[in-house]
Structure 1
Amino acid sequence: MISKQIRNYDVIFMPEDEGGYSVSVPGLPGCFTQGETIEEATLMANEAIELYLQSLQEGI
């Protein structure tokens, strides 16, 4: 049997003066990323959340 828990996190996209977006996930302290476009920033945010949660599971 496979069990998967689905969670939702708020993600904040901040446009940068030099272009692109900085991204933070307030519910996961220290979880930050960035992207050149909103689409890239969204993909990067998803990856950052996955890696953050994986590191918690592995006890890193």
Structure 2
Amino acid sequence: MTVLVVAAIAYLTLALILVYAIDNLVALFFPDAHSAMPLNFPTLEKMMAASRKYYRK
């Protein structure tokens, strides 16, 4: 039973390392040039105004 637990933990550890490595490779080849939408104060004001406009209709 102990061998099974150790094997499961080792398998999960290797899987996490593999996912982390693939994530870093993808980030290397496809860098995130900009965030999707920077939320600064004017942007939030515009979103709230649009929300109120469509809520009234």
TM over 0.5: no
Bigger radius of gyration among the two: 2
Question: If the TM-score is normalised by the length of the shorter chain, which range does it land in?
Answer: 0.3 to 0.5
Higher helix share: 2
Structure 1 length normalisation: TM-score?
Answer: 0.38
Structure with greater contact order relative to length (CA < 8 Å, sep ≥ 6): 1
Structure 2 length normalisation: TM-score?
Answer: 0.40
